Amino acid sequence: MTAALPALPAKIHPLVRAFLDTPGAAADALARFGSPAHLVFPQVYAENLARLRAVLERRSPRHRICYAHKVNRSRAFLRTAEQAGIAVDVASAQELAAAAEAGFGPERIEVTGPKGETLLRGLVDTGVTVNVDNLWELRRIAELAGERVAVPVLLRVSGFAASPVSRFGIALGEAEEALGVAAAQRDRIALRGFAFHIDSGEPAERVRAVEACLGLVERAYSHGLAPAVLDIGGGFRQVFTADADRFDGYVAALREALLGRGEPMTWGGNTFGFHVDGAGVHGTPVFHKYANTVPAARMLDDLLTAPLDAHGGRTVAQLAAENLLELWLEPGKALVDHAGITLARVEFVKQAADGSVLVNLDLSRDTVTPADQEVMVDPIVLPAAGDSGPVAEPGPVGVFFAGRLCLERDLITNHKVWLDARPRPGDLVVFPNTAAYHSDLSAAAASMHPLPPKLAVAHRSGEFRICPDADYEPALAASGTV
Ligand SMILES: Cc1ncc(COP(=O)(O)O)c(C=O)c1O
């Protein structure tokens, strides 16, 4: 790749890099299980977990990590979490069943998200902790619980000063009413504490949320309640880019291109959330999370050591300890960061009427893209084995990757990707870091294409072993059997 060309090089975990560098490993996986395929690396998950745990051990020894299962359907990740002794956060009856099947008992399960009547009915007798989203849920739990054992609940709150409005959680203005319900129904509702979840990279937002929750803890005492949990949710960031300067360089070139200067870099007039007018390119692009360079463990450490002015500068971790609060968190993407890739094959390469080069793959945009967000890391092309003939068009080439659906919008990249050479049918394409929502959040079986198989990769005794995700067992991987 010529250094001067815009590029979005992906950060790749050394284990994943070693797998991709092992001759034939990726191609063998597709030959055995079919293309495309999602690969997960539970050992990378375990490493991510160890890093978050190290921060918590140092700063807040009384803690609980609830793995947010929604980030990926993988059973291998669930089994890894279960074996590591952490808890799980589930957001549907199906995730609840998967967690139970993977070995989590009710004392290690928390249910988050908006819950309907059917799910609530299924929860009241089980002993799992219900992270309550709204007053209706709270009242309904009390009704459904009847005279049986009190249902453990957390009250999720939202609407913190200077935070954008959220559709989730009990508005702070209604928290007093919720405490009234919890106090009046204490035989049926066991208030464990307060929760929030903020999907923001802005540290001050979480600090304000912690402050608000500490205020609610005081209010709960005055209702005769004894909250013992402060759940700070998930939202701890991933690091996608291997080179922040090159990322910035790509975005700078993109802005120029949007103004009509230099080579066009977008498909179909896409502006990625930028506002373009005669005076320039304004605003924050939708893909800004791909620029992040702060790892989740540092973000967590910064939060736990953040001083709270209203509490004499004592830190979040100190205040949690002084209030006898166990600190819970619900990381999803931070645990699976770099623990997954997606493999696909080039079907054909064509030229569109405007001269754009389209590399058509055997997967669709929704297979590697969460909620239709543009993914700003470069896919990697691995030439097909035995492909030693001359390349059709040597030299760098700017391409758009296109999907297999009969939809104009099924472009896997709406931004241009520069490759060393024009790919050829049969070449393999690697999408880095797809385990966090990218592979599982939006994928549909459109045109009856089946969802790609999910495979688990383990590295033991210098070898990579691959099995269906559902068959992976951490203990077997440790013994070298899988
Ligand atoms: C309540 C709750 N907790 C945790 C998470 C996990 O978030 P993340 O993957 O950003 O850590 C989510 C994600 O939507 C969530 O809604």
Share of the chain above pLDDT 70, in %: 97
How far away, in angstroms, is 314 Cα from ligand 1 center? 27
What pLDDT, in 10s, does the model give residues 159-192? 999 899 999 999 999 999 999 999 999 999 999 9
* Residue of 197, 236, 434 with the most ligand 1 atoms within 8 Å of its CB, for mutation: 197
Of the candidates 145, 220, 148, 236, the one whose C-alpha atom is nearest the C-alpha of residue 182 is 220
What pLDDT, in 10s, does the model give residues 344-367? 999 999 999 999 999 999 999 999
What pLDDT, in 10s, does the model give residues 40-69? 999 999 999 999 999 999 999 999 999 999
List beta partners, residue 48. Answer: none
How many helices (H) and strands (E) are present in the chain, helices listed first? 14, 22
Contact 326, 62 (CB under 8 A): yes
What pLDDT, in 10s, does the model give residues 66-95? 999 999 999 999 999 999 999 999 999 999
Indicate the DSSP class of residue 280.
Answer: E
What pLDDT, in 10s, does the model give residues 127-147? 999 999 999 999 999 999 977
Rounded to 5°, the CA angle 165-443-439 comes to 85
Q: What is the mean pLDDT of residues 231-251?
A: 97
Name the residue at shortest CA distance from atom 10 of ligand 1. 235
Q: Alpha carbon of 82 to those of 77, 150, 259, 330, 474: distances in Å?
A: 9, 26, 51, 14, 10
Contact 404, 410 (CB under 8 A): yes
Pairing of strands 380-382, 428-431: antiparallel
CA of 332, closest atom in ligand 1? 9
For every residue of 12-40, which 3-state class applies, written as one string?
Answer: CCHHHHHHHHCCCHHHHHHHHHCCCEEEE
Whether 110 lines ligand 1, by a CB cut-off of 6 Å, is: no
Confidence of residue 478 (pLDDT cuts 50, 70, 90): low
DSSP SS3 for 397: strand
How far away, in angstroms, is 206 Cα from ligand 1 center? 14
Place of tokens 């909250």: 227
- Say what the pLDDT of residue 385 is: 79
How far apart are alpha carbons 101 and 113 in whole angstroms? 21
Confidence of residue 391 (pLDDT cuts 50, 70, 90): low
How far away, in angstroms, is 358 Cα from ligand 1 center? 35
* Residue of 45, 49, 67, 71 with the most ligand 1 atoms within 8 Å of its CB, for mutation: 71
Name the residue at shortest CA distance from atom 5 of ligand 1. 234
| For residue 432, cis peptide bond before it (omega within 30 degrees of 0) | no
List beta partners, residue 40. Answer: 340, 456
Residue 243, judged by CB atoms within 10 A of its CB (0-12, 13-18, 19+), counts as middle
CA of 199, closest atom in ligand 1? 10
Helix axes 25-33, 14-21, angle to 10 degrees: 80
What phi and psi values does residue 398 have, to the nearest 5 degrees?
-90, 125
* Residue of 48, 70, 200 with the most ligand 1 atoms within 8 Å of its CB, for mutation: 70
Share of the chain above pLDDT 90, in %: 90
How far away, in angstroms, is 329 Cα from ligand 1 center? 9
How far apart are alpha carbons 409 and 365 in whole angstroms? 9
CA of 71, closest atom in ligand 1? 9
Q: Is the pLDDT of residue 475 over 70?
A: yes
What pLDDT, in 10s, does the model give residues 277-335? 988 999 999 999 999 999 999 999 999 999 999 999 999 999 999 999 999 999 999 99
- Say what the pLDDT of residue 1 is: 46
* Residue of 73, 112, 115, 333 with the most ligand 1 atoms within 8 Å of its CB, for mutation: 112
Work out the mean pLDDT of the chain and round it to a whole number: 95
- Say what the pLDDT of residue 316 is: 97
CA of 330, closest atom in ligand 1? 4
Contact 265, 253 (CB under 8 A): yes
